[in-house]
Structure 1
Amino acid sequence: MNLKLLQILPTIITALYYSELRAEPVLEQGAASIQSSQQSKPVSLSRYVPLDAAGMPIVASHLPSLEEWPCVLDRNTGLTWESKSQLPGLHYHHNTYHWFQPEPGHNGGQPGQHGGNRCRTNSSVARQLTSVDADTVCDTHRFVNAVNQEALCGQRDWRLPHREELRSLVDYNIRYPGPTIDLQAFPNTVAQFYWSADTAAAAPLEAWGIGFSFGFDYAYFKSNQVHLRLVRGVFSYKSPREPSSQ
């Protein structure tokens, strides 16, 4: 056993953790270059199916002319996911949110932080342009309500995903700096932390999520403003995605 490695392992893990949280501007720049290179390729329909505003599959021949779509169906899990947009508004990909859940049975005893009047974005220009709708839903609870009121893709049962549901989107064949997700199906994904619905049992002031620069899960204080992606449907995973041996 390598005792020296065991001694420094906590330091390595801590460094990875904080690099995930603090490297946002660099990661987004890298993500943009990866995204632009992948968007020129056709979206594979083997697993992910882009959906239109009515929740219907988009005709494959129309996909090459599109840069984004409202929702994505995952054939492997049966879940339908919210897509993010480059356009400022309710689904703007740079909007960030506090974790807030007022129902005691679903918050671990700590509801989190109610959102303010404006959602923080990572672009001063986008911040000025963000719509009124997005400005008033700066926590997870209010965002879920707003998306259901909108009836995204014709549905009103959108929710925050559980940790394992969110983890099912991670592509472990993509390495740091990510985003560790199929950008052909999920354009405009930021290589940062995304909330799940799950409170950390040992630390109820925190909630679990996935960092899409490494693909790791960790708990983060509910008072922080980070990204989220809503989901609907019943989780039924058919074929787990394992890290590549290469």
Structure 2
Amino acid sequence: MVTPRNRSRNGLSSIRCIIGMGSCASPCGTSWEETSSWSVMCCSFAYIRYSICIFYAITRLDRQAIIRYRRNSLTNIKLLNYPWSREPRTMIWPSACMAIALGLSACSENTDREAVAESWQRIDQQGQVIDSSDDARHHCVFDRRTNLLWEVKQTESGAHRFDATYSWYSNDPAQHMSEPGLRDGGKCDLASCETEALVAAVNSSGLCGHRDWRMPQREELLTLGDYGLIESGNVLDPEFFPLALPGEYWSASTFRLYPQSAWVVSAANGLDRGERKTEARLARLVRGEIFNPRKPPESN
């Protein structure tokens, strides 16, 4: 089954197709995202032990690149020949992958998706639901579909400052995969501007009555995007996230092929990519059981 995931900001297709359980993703961030006009990912069957994953990107009108991976287990992807540089090398004829892209063109449409905010509730500082007719300021948003509670940014200085940025840092070996990231690499009102310090500060404050806040997984961040708002330049609904900037937000997910990077999700277009952990990006915390999109939680 081929599942449509997203569309690019400039109107051209940015396709990620998942076939069965197999998937693959673009390498760490800046080499591709800063220059690419559009990209197509053709992902392998998970049940075939050896298969080829082809990534095709037109980075500029006069430059083409193709990366091939060999998937040799259900959980590991080994690199065949990736040039870790900003100047990619063409490895197979562009026409070959173009034919695959055309065959998967149906993946580029995602127009019948319902507004994600239909399952959201505004929550006050004490953790109580705010009535839809009440214009009181809210501090969190609860998603009844995913059972996740999200931090809402504020204008005041402190841990919830809307324009504060952080470098990615974690002490958890299972999370950072031998690359813990960088301390104090952002710009914020905390003593140290990294994601781990943000989590500690928000838990200390007891936001919305809870002290178990954490960094969101990549798949959790992707649930916030309303693609009906993409033409506005920000896919986060301003009614629920009024101060959300159209920048990139850190996830807790390390990029497995290049653990010096972690996944970020852009609020401008809803797309995700890998970014170096040393870079400064926005962050929004979440609490609740980790959401698995392949196994939706039961309704309360």
Identity rate, percent: 34
Secondary structure of 2:141's match?
strand
Unpaired runs of 5+ residues, structure 1, are 15-43, 122-133, 240-246
Letter in 1 for 2:119: R
Letter in 2 for 1:208: W
Secondary structure of 2:250's match?
strand
Aligned 8 A contact 1:51 1:153 in 2: yes
Q: TM-score, normalised by structure 2?
A: 0.58
Secondary structure of 1:195's match?
strand
User: Any idea what the Cα deviations from partners look like across 1:69-103, whole Å, max 9, x if unmatched?
Assistant: 21110111110000001222220100000100022
Secondary structure of 2:220's match?
helix
Q: TM-score, normalised by structure 1?
A: 0.70
Aligned 8 A contact 1:108 1:204 in 2: yes
Mapped pair 1:147 → 2:177: no
Structure 1 consecutive aligned stretches of length 4 or more whose deviation exceeds 3 Å = 5-8, 236-239
Which of the two has higher C-alpha Rg? Answer: 2
User: Any idea what the Cα deviations from partners look like across 1:129-186, whole Å, max 9, x if unmatched?
Assistant: xxxxx33141000110111111111101100000000000011122256211111111
Mapped pair 1:59 → 2:131: yes
Given candidates 217, 221, 232, the residue that maps to 1:162 is 217
Aligned 8 A contact 1:70 1:153 in 2: yes
Tell me the CA shift for residue 236 of structure 1: 5.7
Mapped pair 1:99 → 2:171: no
Larger RCO: Structure 1 or Structure 2 (Cα < 8 Å, ≥ 6 residues apart)?
Answer: 1
Equivalents in 2 of 1:100, 1:70: separation in Å?
A: 25
Mapped pair 1:197 → 2:285: no
Mapped pair 1:120 → 2:169: no
Q: How many residues align?
A: 188
Q: Which has the higher strand share?
A: 2
Aligned 8 A contact 1:200 1:208 in 2: yes
Cross-structure match for 1:36: none
Q: Which has the higher helix share?
A: 1
Equivalents in 2 of 1:45, 1:170: separation in Å?
A: 9
Cross-structure match for 2:22: none
Letter in 2 for 1:120: K
Unpaired runs of 5+ residues, structure 2, are 1-37, 40-55, 64-115
Cross-structure match for 1:214: 269
Cross-structure match for 2:106: none
Mapped pair 1:136 → 2:204: no
Alpha-carbon RMSD: 2.5
Equivalents in 2 of 1:98, 1:216: separation in Å?
A: 20
Distance 1:236 1:207, change over 3 A: closer
Cross-structure match for 1:72: 141
Equivalents in 2 of 1:10, 1:232: separation in Å?
A: 38
Tell me the CA shift for residue 199 of structure 1: 0.5
Equivalents in 2 of 1:83, 1:143: separation in Å?
A: 14
Given candidates 28, 49, 70, the residue that maps to 2:121 is 49
Aligned 8 A contact 1:99 1:195 in 2: yes
